[in-house]
Amino acid sequence: ATHIEDLDIHQWSYPNGVKVNFKQTDFDKNSINMVASFGSGKAGMPMTLTGLDTLAGAIFSAGGLGKHSSDDLRSILAGRNVGVEFNIGDDTFSLSGSTTPKDLDLQLQLLSAYLTDPGFRPEAERQFKAMLPNIYAQLKHTEQGPISKMSSWFVSEDSRFAFPTEEQANALSSTQVKDWLTPQLTNNSLEISIVGDTSIEAIQTALSKTLGALPARHASNDIPIENRTLTIVQTPVEKTFTYQSEIEKGIAIVLWKTDDATDQDAKKVRRTGLLADILDERMRVELREKLGEAYSPFARASLSQTFKNKGSIMAYSPGKPANTEKVGNIIINLADTLAKEGATQDELQRSLKPKLGLLEKSLRQNSYWLGSVMDRSQAYPAKIEAARTRDADYASITLKEINDLAQQFCIKENSARISISPSK
């Protein structure tokens, strides 16, 4: 066992290969949060089964356990503070939940049951398929449809980022989900992180009877590297998507390709995030105050720690359909000016100030420790180092660093302009 003293995090592993990260906190009285991460997530999804992740997400919890349907579980667990939520990340699956010291044992038993005996019941698949006509009607008549099409278009229709057609969704089965998930639930390396108001002794006692007692697991989660490299649409490019609606709502979206953070590079993520904040502020002034677009435009960066070429900065501005093209061009020009002339020291300080305030606050939040620091920190020790140096790193960010990134990413030639508008 290791104790990381400056962050007060304990790490250990069991002979079966299950790794544990634990931090005792008193931020939320009687509250314990946990996340168990395993497997290869979306990156390892079979390329031929578009939408398998959508079906998996819909039926995993709804399918209950082998021994108990989800209705049974509801009545068995009534009045107890337990629950498990299944999530599919880019390169991992996770089972997460929160509980109290009193129900800790039961929570870990439930989590172990989902790992070893998920139900994959056909009734969950039937419920999902019964909802499909509504889901597809909604995609056809709201901006959600074009937005999901845009996501897969940007990555050259990589099937893992595509929302299935109704026909594809209907053809999927819970058996396919079971075949995809079972080896990863039972075999792939598993790392559980727990934070909250309980002692290391209580955690070790509860884990030794549950996750620590599971059959041995393999250490490796390796996803073949070719599955991690995406092909992004050639820029500069313009694309229009429509949906059927009487509602006068259009959206101007611009995407700029950025670097990745596949080497777990937290510094790059922070600086690109600040660059997006500065663009966000320029958009607000230009579009809301000068143009009077009623809705709030925003810009944000997302750098992928899993895939090569997936990183992007996105600007998003809802408004009148008649203005989408004009607004898109204004955004492209704002970014291009930012690339060529740079931001000012004042803009950098204004973007940094709220960030620095939030950093202070986050140190007293279980969600920060669990998600940003501890989850998979044995697989990626860089996360511990990033937490250690986070505040000092933010404080050290220079205007030159931001402007270098702006010059690299925000130029017109690197942009994809998307218009989303209703067609009558």
Any residues with CB less than 8 A from the CB of 416 and at least 6 apart, and which? 154, 233, 235, 236, 237, 238, 239, 254, 255, 256
CB-CB neighbours of 401 under 10 Å: 17
Model pLDDT, residue 222: 64
Q: Which residues contact 73 (CB under 8 A, 6 or more apart)?
A: 64, 65
Q: Looking at the predicted structure, is the pLDDT value of residue 220 above 80?
A: no
3-state secondary structure of 118: strand
Residue 331 to residue 244: CA distance in whole angstroms: 26
Q: Which of 228-232, 343-347, 395-399 has the lowest mean pLDDT?
A: 228-232
Confidence of residue 319 (pLDDT cuts 50, 70, 90): very high
State pTM to two decimals.
0.93
And the tokens for 329? 């061009």
Closest Cα partner for 26 from 374, 360, 361, 364?
A: 364
Q: pLDDT band at 179, cuts 50/70/90? A: very high
| Mean pLDDT value of segment 116-124 | 94
- Cα Rg, the chain, nearest whole Å: 23
Angle at 75 between CA 71 and CA 81, to 5 degrees: 115
Decide if pLDDT at 293 tops 80. Answer: no
* Residue 424: per-residue pLDDT: 67
- Spatial contact of 86 and 181, defined as CB atoms under 8 Å apart: no
pLDDT at 223 exceeding the cut of 90 = no
**Eight-state DSSP code of residue 379:** T
Q: What is the pLDDT of residue 221?
A: 61
The DSSP symbol for 285 reads I
**CA 18 to CA 203: how far, in whole Å?**
14
Q: In what order do the strands lie in the sheet with 32-38?
A: 2-4, 9-13, 19-24, 190-196, 32-38, 93-99, 85-88
Q: Which tokens sit at 132?
A: 């499909």
37, 374 Cβ separation under 8 angstroms: no
What distance in Å separates the CA atoms of residue 402 and residue 343, rounded to the nearest whole number?
Answer: 8
Q: Decide: 216 and 18 in contact? Cβ < 8 Å.
A: no
Cis amide bond preceding 354, omega within 30:
no
**What is the separation of C-alpha 418 from the centre of its chain, rounded to a whole number of angstroms?**
23
pLDDT per residue over 366-393, tens digit each? 999 999 999 999 999 999 999 999 999 9
Is residue 128 helix, strand or coil?
A: helix
Instruction: Give the pLDDT confidence score for residue 271 in this predicted structure.
Output: 97
pLDDT band at 301 (very low <50, low <70, confident <90, very high): very high
β-strands 298-302, 312-319 pairing: antiparallel
Give the residue carrying structure tokens 């999927």: 172
How distant, in Å, are the alpha carbons of 146, 352, 422 from that of 296? Answer: 20, 21, 19
Residue (of 162, 331, 310, 335) closest to 251 by Cα position: 331
Tell me which H or E stretch contains 300.
Answer: strand 298-302
Beta bridge partners of 20: 12, 192
289: how many CB neighbours lie within 10 A of its CB?
Answer: 9
224: closest CA among 46, 377, 376, 49?
46
- Report CA-CA distances (Å) from 113 to 37, 73, 83, 208: 15, 12, 12, 15
pLDDT digits (tens, 9 = 90+) for 244-291: 999 889 999 999 999 988 777 899 999 999 999 999 999 999 998 878
Beta strands 19-24 and 9-13 are antiparallel
Averaged confidence pLDDT in the chain: 94
